[in-house]
Structure 1
């Protein structure tokens, strides 16, 4: 039994697209690092809206064919979800010089997935860096998916001190990161979320909060230098008049029409319209930047709930509910059947017509 345990690992795996119940805990082969790879024993990962969309193969309008090619036509191409990981280096390949066994690290796995398992491999020149010294694994992993996504999009806008930035979907994993990062850049931040999340986004630095249930931010007279849409309900034609001349619309979530029209919108309007995350390149340097902010007290972890790996179906059900705010954590190392969730804060519905903020 010990020999079997040494070459296999527990993982949350799914073999067909569908509801939370398609995910099951199984034993699969434990990976071995290639010469340039680091093997991480995973302590924590997040379960994001991106994991939910991948599990259901549910994507914005027009992107179904692309999703099938990326995720799998007849079944999941990658059976273990989890786009990020925080853990301890277990072993390194022969060519690895940047890390040694015992290092505590965080890593972005991206479309490779794999974080919802006891072990995962990452190239040493990938998006991996030492975790914040002032954070545990559960807190540290919140920097990765939400933090890197927000950082990548905001970097396209070249925000300067005093710029006005609106974050639509400010209470999700990407939104809570974007509020903090925009404030660190010196922006005046307006957060769009539910009224129940007003205190949360204000505590993260938002200067002004719009409750989407009582006010349509796009119908007012205020204008902004940057609008970041983390929900998918703020296309250019809806918010064009809300953007200042030379402003930027950052579409974290959009449909095929939004993706295809973005370059032309930019050329014809004089305003930057950038869509989708295919052009995002996650790097260790970007992740180290976020770690530096966390260690200096300028970036805070936002955790809604924490689930043991054995409770992965319950975790998926909660993310499916649309009430997630900030991050949902999957505890991997040391989790055992029957461990209950830890609830960090209340949850609320994200803005939009059926769309959830990542």
Structure 2
């Protein structure tokens, strides 16, 4: 089968298309014919080996595995001896360890059925970004009906899900994005949109927010706190800065350290795979309360190009690999 592999950490240039053996599912796994795979910042971190702390789990001097790609959607081709939830022919989505390939094996408890109204491309856009937004709002943010919610990075992968989920939970939602994405953010349900190139959401002219979800990763924590109610919650998703050792983790660590010293509630979120969350997202998508935003698709051999586009930081919603 064809698969994208790499032998070293580095930029997208280290990736190549190769012929490799088809995987064999274990007892608790299924074999998928991959139809689509998502592209998200986590892929870039695994590709580059940044932050360095991550290499304690992925390999110190080089990657322990040549594979890449986490979010997957496809058709079940075979199941392990211990799998009873799925059978060949089922359409499923979720996470695995090698999604950028024609076939992939995935743990059955990290998958969920694809709703009938979603394509494979749409389903592949959901897992990591959707679970991150869901946990940020529901678990960390404890969002409630009638609250004022600010989503920073509202036009991106996590942000487009966060806007829709916050509306589904009954909140009044303001999205922060660049002007080019403003109409998109309105179209997915935002009650108000702030163009960060023209306005400052924390300038004091707007009512304060009960909950802020920051998926853009650029602003100081003090800036977020100025826009928050005295006992409001701000949730940090991803981030910039921190150098090679803490790349993407700097603000999360500072938010965690700040917690004991303020009445406001700083929270951080990491999207570890969980079947229950996938099924919740599938139900919401099946009911039409959320709809994945896919702005671009790429064939398998163009995975490096998709990752380079992701690095630019301007993608609307999600980028997806199609097979």
1:253 paired to 2:245: no
Q: Alignment partner for residue 219 of structure 2, among 234, 250, 268?
A: 234
Aligned to 2:255: 262
Aligned to 2:35: 43
Q: What secondary structure is seen at the aligned counterpart in 1 of 2:125?
A: helix
Aligned to 2:115: 132
Aligned to 2:137: 154
Aligned to 2:66: 79
Offset, 1:263: 3.5
CA distance in 2, matches of 1:239, 1:136: 37
CA distance in 1, matches of 2:196, 2:46: 27
1:164 paired to 2:157: no
8 Å Cα contact 2:256/2:268 also seen in 1: no
Aligned to 2:186: 202
CA distance in 2, matches of 1:53, 1:219: 34
CA distance in 2, matches of 1:180, 1:312: 28
Offset, 1:230: 0.7
Aligned to 2:197: 213
8 Å Cα contact 2:296/2:318 also seen in 1: yes
1:67 paired to 2:54: yes
CA distance in 1, matches of 2:224, 2:27: 49
Offset, 1:257: 4.5
Q: What secondary structure is seen at the aligned counterpart in 2 of 1:217?
A: coil
CA distance in 2, matches of 1:170, 1:315: 20
TM-score calculated relative to the size of structure 2: 0.91
| Mapping for residues 301-312 of structure 1, pairs under 5 Å | 301-312=292-303
8 Å Cα contact 1:166/1:189 also seen in 2: yes
8 Å Cα contact 1:221/1:242 also seen in 2: no
TM-score calculated relative to the size of structure 1: 0.83
Aligned to 1:119: 103
Q: Alignment partner for residue 272 of structure 1, among 265, 276, 279?
A: 265
Aligned to 1:350: none
Deviates more, 1:161-170 or 1:228-237: 228-237
CA-to-aligned-CA distance 1:177-235 (integer Å, 9 cap, x gap)? 11100110011111111101111000001111111111222333431111111111234
| Mapping for residues 4-15 of structure 1, pairs under 5 Å | 9-15=1-7
Aligned to 2:228: 243
Offset, 1:268: 2.0
CA distance in 2, matches of 1:194, 1:257: 24
Structure 1, unmatched stretches of 5+, are: 1-8, 59-63, 333-358
Aligned to 2:245: none
8 Å Cα contact 1:265/1:271 also seen in 2: no
Aligned pairs, how many? Answer: 313
CA RMSD of aligned residues (A): 1.7
Offset, 1:26: 0.8
Q: Taking structure 1 as reference, are residues 80 and 218 closer, same or farther at Cα in structure 2, changes over 3 Å only?
A: farther
Deviates more, 1:238-247 or 1:261-270: 261-270
Aligned to 1:225: 210
